[in-house]
């Protein structure tokens, strides 16, 4: 007598996990219902019995992450008055760290793919994240009552970025030291003094040699990718922004993916070149790290669209280009990490790599909040992001700030 094959009781959870991991690894548009069904071990037809389509699974996956962040911090409103603000702060951060680590393979969804949520779904996610930020700000307001509202939001967003950055990479570190490192860095950015009154001229990046239409296509493409998303932007849209027929784009690029790859490769090459130039120009590791931080911040503010697109659209690269870019990124992270261990010998390379990834992610996440390259406030925003990046790399509170060049803030790394 043959046995009856029964549907696992946790099938719904299996599907939710498989969908979240697929979207987290490859992005919303690159994942099909067949891909998710294969991960679960069922047919696509069977998957449709559980979900109306790919968007429902994507929506549920992203909002489930927001719900987990809310749920793990629900205790804040019921915390007794006897709990010290520092203790409450660390309880909140540890809860968020545990949630981030439990969702490391899919946790980047709410940060990189949220733009693909529709209308009310996007508003719901933003409401979830705002409530989590407000909970972080409960002990922060008690510990630092003099902070302005904008400062509180910047610091809570920075702490969330540091914690959430573990979903952006595969750098390995034992669970206990990883939790301790994330707690140290998240607490450090909540404790940082954001410099005020920065109004000097911004440092000017070296002028790039223009290549005419080629440069225009790259520039306008990034603006459209940033504004509308890669998959919502067509070659015709890019051609219209540049003022040429669509056929003219193909004189320079084989297609939209080629434009994205060229932009990413250029960005990666420039950051890599900054490392080589800084190391060649300055033998002292502390001053070299200051140079690199200055260069990284300057490039991010110089081209905020690229900084955002580079972080959110990497999954849309062709596999061959993605492999090349990943190798360049790894070499760059390794160079920063080795330099960081020279400045902070108590850190191992594994810890340093985690800190570098967190610092890079923070520039994008907090940069969007304070306004990368946003007109009159750009010098102030640059100083804030720079201070937060240095703190994320080094931990603790930088002892002082000083003017390193017009418009630049240099952190004393000897603290």
According to the model, what pLDDT value does residue 402 have? 35
Beta bridge partners of 409: 403
User: How many whole angstroms separate alpha carbon 76 and alpha carbon 89?
Assistant: 9
Compute the distance between CA of residue 99 and CA of residue 92 in angstroms, rounded to an integer.
11
Among 68-82, 127-141, 160-174, 366-380, the range scoring the smallest mean pLDDT is 366-380
pLDDT at 189 over 90: yes
Q: What is the pLDDT of residue 248?
A: 87
Q: DSSP class of residue 194?
A: -
C-alpha span between 211 and 241 (Å, rounded): 17
CA distance 184 to 177: 10
Closest CA to 368 of 82, 176, 84, 115: 115
Question: Comparing 39-43, 155-159, 298-302, 351-355, which segment has the lowest mean pLDDT?
Answer: 298-302
Least confident of 52-56, 96-100, 205-209, 379-383: 205-209
Query: What pLDDT is attached to residue 53?
Result: 86
As a whole number, mean pLDDT of residues 220-230 equals 84
Task: Quick: pLDDT tens for 104-117.
Answer: 877 777 877 788 88
Within 282-404, residue ranges assigned H as helices are 285-302, 304-312, 319-343, 349-370, 378-394
Does residue 340 have a pLDDT over 80? Answer: yes
The pLDDT, as a whole number, for residue 396 is: 67
What's residue 199's pLDDT?
A: 58
Residue 400 has a pLDDT of: 36
Q: % helix / strand / coil in the chain, to the nearest 5?
A: 70, 0, 30
> Could you tell me what percent of the chain has a pLDDT over 70?
87
**From CA 178, how far away is CA 120, in angstroms rounded?**
35
Compute how many other C-beta atoms are within 10 angstroms of the C-beta atom of residue 409: 25
229 close to 237: Cβ distance less than 8 angstroms? no
Confidence of residue 204 (pLDDT cuts 50, 70, 90): very low
Note the pLDDT tens digit of each residue in 142-176: 999 999 999 999 999 999 999 999 888 777 888 99
Average pLDDT score over residue span 115-122: 89
Going from the C-alpha of 57 to that of each of 32, 109, 115, 153, the distances in angstroms are 11, 12, 15, 31
Name the most confidently modeled range: 13-22, 124-133, 309-318. Answer: 124-133
Average pLDDT across the chain, whole number: 83
Q: What is the pLDDT of residue 156?
A: 95
* Torsion angles phi and psi, residue 200, rounded to 5: -75, 165
- Find out whether 40 and 18 touch, Cβ atoms under 8 Å: yes
Sign of the Cα torsion 328, 331, 333, 336 reads negative
Q: How confident is the model at residue 208 (pLDDT cuts 50, 70, 90)?
A: very low
With H, G, I as helix, E, B as strand and everything else as coil, classify residue 410.
strand
Residue 408 forms beta bridges with which residues? Answer: 405
Centre a 10 Å sphere on the Cβ of residue 46 and count the other Cβ atoms it contains: 14
| pLDDT higher than 80, residue 212 | no
**How do strand 401-405 and strand 408-411 relate by DSSP bridges?**
antiparallel
pLDDT at position 101 is: 93
Is 156:388 a contact under the CB 8 Å cutoff?
no
pLDDT exceeds cutoff 70 at 203:
no
Indicate if the pLDDT at residue 4 is higher than 60.
no
304, 343, 415 from 346: Cα distances, Å: 34, 9, 13
Q: What pLDDT shows up at residue 406?
A: 33
| pLDDT at residue 275, rounded to an integer | 83
Q: pLDDT band for position 211 (50/70/90)?
A: low
Q: Residue 411 forms beta bridges with which residues?
A: 401
Which residues make beta-bridge pairs with 55? none
Phi, psi of 82, rounded to the nearest 5 degrees: -75, -15
Q: How far is CA 225 from CA 29, 86, 228, 385, 390, in A?
A: 14, 41, 5, 24, 29
Q: What does the alpha-carbon distance between residue 132 and residue 163 come to, in Å, rounded to a whole number?
A: 13
Catalogue all structural domains in the chain, each as residue range(s) with its CATH number.
11-191 (1.10.357.10), 213-411 (1.10.357.10)
Give me the pLDDT at residue 113, please. Answer: 79
Give the confidence band of 190 by pLDDT, cuts at 50, 70, 90.
very high
Beta bridge partners of 402: 410
Determine the Cα–Cα distance for residues 304 and 290; give it in Å rounded to an integer: 21
Which of 129-138, 284-293, 317-326 is predicted most confidently? 129-138
- The phi, psi pair for 209, rounded to 5°, reads -75, 125
- Looking at residue 364, its pLDDT comes to 84
Percent of the chain with pLDDT over 90: 33
Which band of pLDDT confidence, cut at 50, 70 and 90, is reported for residue 260? Answer: confident
What value does the mean pLDDT take over residues 173-192?
Answer: 93
**How far apart are the C-alpha atoms of 229 and 411, rounded to whole Å?**
36
- Report the alpha-carbon distance of residue 231 to residue 312 in Å, rounded: 12
Given a contact cutoff of 8 angstroms between Cβ atoms, the answer to whether 295 and 388 are in contact is no
Q: Which residue has the tokens 């690894």?
A: 25
**Comparing 272 with 71, which gets the higher pLDDT?**
71
More confident residue, 100 or 378: 100
For residue 202, the 8-state DSSP code is P
With a cut of 60, say whether residue 247 has pLDDT above it. yes
DSSP 8-state assignment for residue 415? -
The region that residue 405 occupies, defined by phi over 0 for left and psi between -120 and 50 for alpha, beta otherwise, is beta
More confident residue, 408 or 12: 12
CB of 171 closer than 8 Å to CB of 179: no
The label of the residue with tokens 């508003």 reads 123
């Amino acid at each position: 007598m043959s046995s009856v094959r029964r549907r696992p009781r946790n099938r719904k959870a299996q599907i939710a996990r498989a969908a979240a991991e697929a979207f987290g690894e490859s992005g919303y548009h690159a994942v099909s219902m067949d891909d998710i069904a294969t991960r679960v071990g069922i047919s696509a037809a069977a998957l449709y019995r559980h979900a109306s389509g790919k968007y429902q699974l994507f929506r549920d996956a992203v909002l489930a992450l927001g719900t987990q962040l809310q749920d793990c911090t629900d205790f804040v409103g019921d915390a007794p008055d006897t709990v010290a603000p520092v203790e409450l702060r660390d309880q909140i951060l540890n809860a968020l760290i545990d949630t981030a680590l439990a969702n490391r393979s899919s946790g980047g969804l709410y940060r990189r793919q949220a733009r693909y949520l529709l209308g009310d779904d996007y508003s719901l996610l933003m409401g979830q994240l705002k409530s989590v930020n407000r909970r972080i700000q409960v002990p922060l307001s008690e510990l630092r009552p003099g902070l302005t509202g904008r400062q509180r939001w910047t610091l809570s967003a920075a702490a969330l970025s540091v914690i959430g950055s573990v979903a952006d990479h595969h750098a390995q570190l034992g669970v206990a030291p990883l939790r301790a490192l994330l707690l140290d860095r998240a607490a450090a950015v909540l404790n940082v003094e954001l410099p005020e009154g920065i109004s000097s001229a911004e440092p000017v990046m070296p002028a790039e040699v223009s290549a005419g239409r080629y440069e225009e296509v790259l520039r306008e493409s990034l603006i459209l990718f940033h504004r509308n998303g890669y998959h919502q932007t067509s070659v015709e849209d890019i051609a219209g922004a540049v003022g040429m027929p669509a056929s003219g784009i193909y004189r320079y690029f084989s297609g939209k993916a080629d434009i994205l790859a060229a932009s990413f490769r250029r960005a990666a090459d420039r950051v890599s070149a900054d490392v080589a130039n800084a190391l060649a120009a300055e033998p002292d590791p502390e001053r070299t790290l200051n140079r690199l931080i200055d260069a990284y911040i300057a490039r991010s503010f110089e081209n905020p669209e690229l900084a955002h697109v580079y972080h959110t659209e990497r999954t849309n690269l062709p596999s061959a280009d993605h492999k090349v870019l990943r190798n360049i990124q790894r070499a760059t992270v390794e160079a920063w990490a080795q330099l960081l261990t020279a400045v902070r010998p108590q850190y191992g390379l594994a810890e340093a790599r985690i800190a570098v990834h967190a610092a890079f992610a923070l520039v994008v996440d907090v940069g969007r909040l304070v306004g990368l390259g946003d007109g009159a406030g750009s010098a102030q925003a640059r100083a804030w992001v720079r201070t937060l990046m240095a703190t994320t790399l080094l931990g603790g509170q930088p002892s002082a700030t000083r003017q390193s060049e017009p418009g630049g803030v240099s952190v004393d790394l000897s603290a």
